[in-house]
A = this chain, B = another copy of it.
Amino acid sequence: MPKPYFPEFSNGWPALVEALKSKKVAVIGHIRPDGDCMGSQVGLTRILNQLSIETTAVNRDPYPREITEFVGDTPVALGEAALNRSFDVAITVDCSAMDRIGEELATKVNTVYACIDHHITNPLFAEVNWVPKDAAATAEVIAGIAFDNGISIDPITAQALYVGIATDTGQFRYAATTQRVFDICGQLMEHGANPNTAAQSLYERQKKGRVELLKAYLNTLQFYMDDQLCIGQLTPAMFEAAGSERTDAEGFVDYARNVETVKIACILEEQPDGSTKGSLRAKESRYRVDQLAGYFGGGGHTCAAGFGHPDSPESFLPIFIEKTREHLQLVEQS
């Protein structure tokens, strides 16, 4: 495809670098960071340091086990260290809103100088906002702008940015996967990204307990409404019996969603206090699980949303089924 990848934003790069000269910069990501958050933080932090701008990746939470190795020797301040870190300028990456950096950090940050993101709901809360809404990942935006400006990135930077793109596109399966995504990934490989070692770290280092948890989870799957709705359940007891942790259940909802007849898939997860956390997935955006989650005080994307409910999963289940039935009827009629 013809470059530049991000003509709208890439020419602003020299001015951004100029504005950051001699400043201490924090590249802040969102709480409960995922692959794209980590990749964007690590990528931008390294690029700025390479340009002699003292920069640190700052996050209220540490990175999950399967992505932490991509950080390499990047300067980071995570968890407790994040709250003690001093800096002159804040840049947020992959944060759809200011409050996504977490309350604790938000009290330290008066203004955000630059916001680099790709969420359609982003209200553009910074002075400089680079939020191309057709981008599949924030890491795609950072990589594209770097390449547009002829910046030569090192292998750790390339791999971190690659991981951001690979995870946020669901390994190139989601609708936001464009030609630009593939072209940028090709160029990242030229700079040292390795899709195979990335995949090994991301997907092939599962705990044995995850298999046990999956077995227990699959046993809970129930189908309703002529198999249009599939509901699975998770409980603290299941995690304990399998010797596994919360992140081991990542992606479990897809076992329900991927059944051909299923329009809406859901995991009702019993919380330690007995309440219910609901995770919703829709096969197509017209099923609007953000609205369905909204009935219960939650929200999210059209195809992926969530909510919390004070009742136990057991007593909430019939309420949820009934509301989903109504919702699907409304959607089909419209």
Known A-B contacts A206-B258, A283-B204; the reply to A186 vs B196 at CB < 8 A is no
Docked pose: A189 CA to B182 CA in angstroms: 9
Docked pose: A101 CA to B195 CA in angstroms: 32
Question: A218 touching B215 by the CB < 8 A rule?
Answer: yes
Question: A255 touching B171 by the CB < 8 A rule?
Answer: no
Known A-B contacts A183-B182, A186-B182, A190-B1; the reply to A211 vs B259 at CB < 8 A is yes
Known A-B contacts A200-B283, A283-B200; the reply to A207 vs B259 at CB < 8 A is yes
- Bits for A170-214, please: 1 = Cβ < 8 Å to B, else 0: 111111011110110111011000011001100111111011001
A240 within 8 A of B: no
A311 within 8 A of B: no
How far is the CB of A162 from the nearest CB of chain B, in Å? 10
Docked pose: A214 CA to B219 CA in angstroms: 11
Docked pose: A211 CA to B256 CA in angstroms: 9
Tell me which residues across on chain B come within 8 A of A259, comparing CB atoms.
Answer: 206-208, 210-211
Known A-B contacts A208-B223, A218-B211; the reply to A174 vs B200 at CB < 8 A is no
Question: A204 touching B261 by the CB < 8 A rule?
Answer: no
A227 within 8 A of B: yes
Q: Quick one: closest B residue to A209, CB to CB?
A: B259
A160 within 8 A of B: no
Number of copies: 2
A260 within 8 A of B: yes
Tell me which residues across on chain B come within 8 A of A328, comparing CB atoms.
Answer: none
A46 within 8 A of B: no
Q: Quick one: closest B residue to A214, CB to CB?
A: B218
Docked pose: A258 CA to B204 CA in angstroms: 4
Docked pose: A44 CA to B223 CA in angstroms: 42
A128 within 8 A of B: no
Docked pose: A221 CA to B33 CA in angstroms: 31
24 contacts between A and B (CB under 8 A): A1-B186, A171-B171, A171-B172, A171-B173, A177-B196, A178-B189, A179-B186, A180-B186, A182-B182, A182-B186, A182-B189, A183-B183, A183-B186, A200-B283, A204-B258, A204-B260, A205-B258, A205-B260, A206-B258, A206-B260, A211-B221, A211-B259, A215-B218, A218-B218
Identify which of B190, B207, B258 contacts A179 (C-beta below 8 A). B190
Tell me which residues across on chain B come within 8 A of A161, comparing CB atoms.
Answer: none
Q: Quick one: closest B residue to A177, CB to CB?
A: B195
Tell me which residues across on chain B come within 8 A of A221, comparing CB atoms.
Answer: 211
A257 within 8 A of B: yes
Docked pose: A171 CA to B16 CA in angstroms: 36
Question: B208 touching A196 by the CB < 8 A rule?
Answer: no
Docked pose: A193 CA to B292 CA in angstroms: 30
A304 within 8 A of B: no
A166 within 8 A of B: yes
Tell me which residues across on chain B come within 8 A of A1, comparing CB atoms.
Answer: 186, 190
Could you list 11 further interchain pairs (A-B, Cβ under 8 angstroms) beyond the known A1-B186, A1-B190, A182-B182? A172-B199, A173-B203, A179-B189, A179-B190, A180-B186, A182-B185, A182-B186, A207-B260, A208-B261, A211-B221, A218-B218
